[in-house]
């Protein structure tokens, strides 16, 4: 299969397909241009993120299943899918597509969770094709500037016919120690949740429905919001 999907060795019994990179225009340094130790570090980062996230925070996608009322026939887009934990939403009859701008995360997610009905793409929201019934943006808004969040809302409105669930660390509801931890986050745009939602208001009518500690180590409070498309 010359142009078909590559097969990577996985920990499971069966090899899983890895998509040909659908997003060749995103900057992706050639491995030969990256010094050895840096390369090793980059390759490790998805695994580190996955394990540290899992140990400290568990899987906080669960409430989204109820929030979006996911049911067979849905086609779900996960923006900023990281290492793919959102694929837990792909119950039988549901199709899940996770996108992320970090190619290492996408490769890792594909190896870990890729299966029929669950695919991951190295892509930014403006490069995604297709139609979806629902979407989730989990812990990703705080990586985006105000303008990028507004653009994301407009683009989601084009791609997704139904509701969008948004969840992000909540600096106001968080306790002081949690706020300190948030101030060290990689994301540079940790905002009060109402500010996040205001940025999406041009495209969606949003309301917060649930605030809870991240599971396990409770490193921050997370607020889940539901955004309904404006007519």
Ligand X SMILES: C[S@@+](CC[C@H](N)C(=O)[O-])C[C@H]1O[C@@H](n2cnc3c(N)ncnc32)[C@H](O)[C@@H]1O
Contacts with ligand X by CB under 6 A lie at 53, 79-82, 85, 99-102, 105, 124-125, 138-140, 143-144
Q: Which residues of 43-69 are buried (b: 16+ CB within 10 A; e: fewer)?
A: eeebeebbeebeeebeebbeebbebbe
What's the closest the beta carbon of residue 90 comes to ligand X, in angstroms? Answer: 15
Can you tell me the distance from the alpha carbon of 115 to that of 171, in angstroms, rounded to the nearest whole number? 36
Instruction: Rank residues 3 and 183 by Cβ distance to ligand X and give the closer one.
Output: 183
Closest separation between CB of residue 137 and ligand X, Å?
A: 8
CB closer to ligand X out of 15 and 155: 155
Closer CB to ligand X, residue 138 or residue 173? 138
| Nearest position to ligand X, beta carbon | 82
Minimum CB separation of residue 225 from ligand X in Å reads 15
CA separation for the pair 222, 155 (Å, rounded): 24
Burial zone of 97 (CB within 10 Å; 0-12 exposed, 13-18 middle, 19+ buried): buried
Tokens at 212, concatenated: 């809870």
Neighbours of 141 (CB within 10 A): 27
Tokens of 172: 């106001």
State which residue, 59 or 161, has the beta carbon closest to ligand X: 59
Residue placing its CB nearer to ligand X in the complex, 15 or 215: 215
The least CB distance from residue 13 to ligand X, in Å, is 26
Q: Which is nearer to ligand X, 144 or 197 (CB)?
A: 144
Exposed/middle/buried for residue 12 (C-beta within 10 Å: 0-12, 13-18, 19+): exposed
Min dist. Cβ of residue 169 to ligand X (A) = 9
Residue 61 CB, shortest distance to ligand X, in Å, is: 7
Angle between helices 103-113 and 36-57 (to 10 degrees): 50
């Amino acid at each position: 299969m010359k142009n078909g999907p590559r097969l990577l060795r996985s920990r499971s019994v069966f090899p899983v397909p890895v998509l040909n990179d659908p997003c060749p225009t995103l900057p992706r340094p050639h491995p030969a241009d990256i010094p050895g130790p840096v390369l090793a570090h980059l390759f490790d980062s998805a695994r580190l993120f996955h394990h540290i996230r899992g140990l400290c925070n568990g899987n906080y996608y669960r409430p989204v299943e109820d929030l979006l009322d996911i049911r067979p026939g849905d086609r779900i887009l996960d923006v900023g899918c990281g290492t793919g934990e959102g694929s837990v939403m792909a119950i039988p009859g549901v199709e899940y597509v996770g996108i992320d701008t970090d190619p290492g995360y996408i490769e890792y997610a594909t190896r870990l969770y890729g299966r029929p009905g669950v695919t991951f793409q190295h892509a930014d929201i403006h490069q995604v094709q297709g139609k979806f019934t629902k979407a989730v943006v989990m812990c990703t808004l705080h990586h985006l500037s105000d303008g990028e969040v507004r653009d994301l809302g407009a683009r989601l409105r084009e791609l997704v016919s139904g509701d969008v669930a948004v969840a992000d660390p909540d600096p106001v509801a968080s306790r002081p120690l949690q706020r300190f931890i948030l101030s060290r986050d990689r994301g540079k745009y940790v905002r009060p949740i109402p500010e996040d939602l205001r940025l999406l208001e041009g495209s969606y009518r949003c309301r917060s429905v649930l605030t809870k500690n991240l599971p396990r180590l409770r490193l921050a409070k997370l607020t889940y919001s539901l955004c309904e498309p404006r007519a």
